[in-house]
């Protein structure tokens, strides 16, 4: 049995695939745990999955923040510069607490501290992407 930590940020569209993966891993006898926004603690706990808070603490009920993130001309920049990048140290600390003793760390696009943690600690790390736009390529742009 492997202990697998799955870390993600975002909307339910980001969270639900991770939940499905965690439940599938559990059915196969593994211990799957989810690290994400505090906002989702109750949802994950209700499914019987271990929850770990992960900074930044983005509340999807903050309509003004969600509106700014979804803005087509500046939302991505706001998300990264104002919310994600300033929280990398906290995110690293949160991940280090739960992932360094895991058999595998699986992370989504916004978990920027994961490659740093994997490089420093040697934890096995896998990146998962839900959208082709997450793969940046000069020769084959999305």
Unique residue bearing structure tokens 């808070």: 53
How many helices (H) and strands (E) the chain has is answered by: 6, 5
DSSP 48: T
Q: What is the pLDDT of residue 141?
A: 67
Quickly list DSSP for 90-136. HHHHHHHHHHTTSSEEEE-TT-TTHHHHHHHH---EEE--SSGGGS-
Q: How far is Cα 92 from Cα 85, in angstroms, rounded to an integer?
A: 11
What percent of the chain stands above pLDDT 70? Answer: 95
- Exposed e or buried b for every residue in 57-90, given b needs 16+ CB within 10 A? ebeeeeeebeebbeeeeeeeeebeeebbeebeee
Q: What is the pLDDT of residue 18?
A: 97
pLDDT, average across residues 54-78? 86
pLDDT, average across residues 74-81? 87
What percent of the chain stands above pLDDT 90? Answer: 64
pLDDT digits (tens, 9 = 90+) for 95-120: 999 999 999 999 998 999 999 999 99
Q: Is the pLDDT of residue 54 over 90?
A: yes
- Give residue 142's pLDDT band: very low, low, confident or very high (50, 70, 90): low
Q: Residue 54 in contact with residue 111, Cβ under 8 Å?
A: yes
- Give residue 75's pLDDT band: very low, low, confident or very high (50, 70, 90): confident
pTM for the structure as a whole: 0.89
């Amino acid at each position: 049995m492997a202990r697998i930590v799955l870390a993600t940020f975002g909307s339910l569209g980001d969270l639900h695939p991770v939940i499905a993966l965690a439940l599938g891993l559990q059915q196969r006898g593994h211990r799957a745990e989810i690290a994400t926004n505090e906002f989702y603690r109750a949802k994950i706990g209700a499914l019987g999955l271990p929850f770990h808070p992960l900074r930044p603490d983005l509340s999807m009920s903050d309509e003004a923040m969600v509106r700014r993130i979804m803005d087509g001309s500046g939302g991505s920049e706001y998300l990264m510069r104002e919310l994600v990048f300033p929280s990398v140290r906290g995110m690293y600390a949160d991940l280090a607490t739960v992932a360094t003793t895991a058999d595998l760390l699986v992370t989504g696009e916004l978990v920027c501290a994961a490659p740093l943690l994997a490089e420093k600690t040697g934890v096995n790390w896998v990146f998962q992407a839900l959208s082709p736009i997450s793969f940046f390529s000069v020769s084959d742009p999305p």
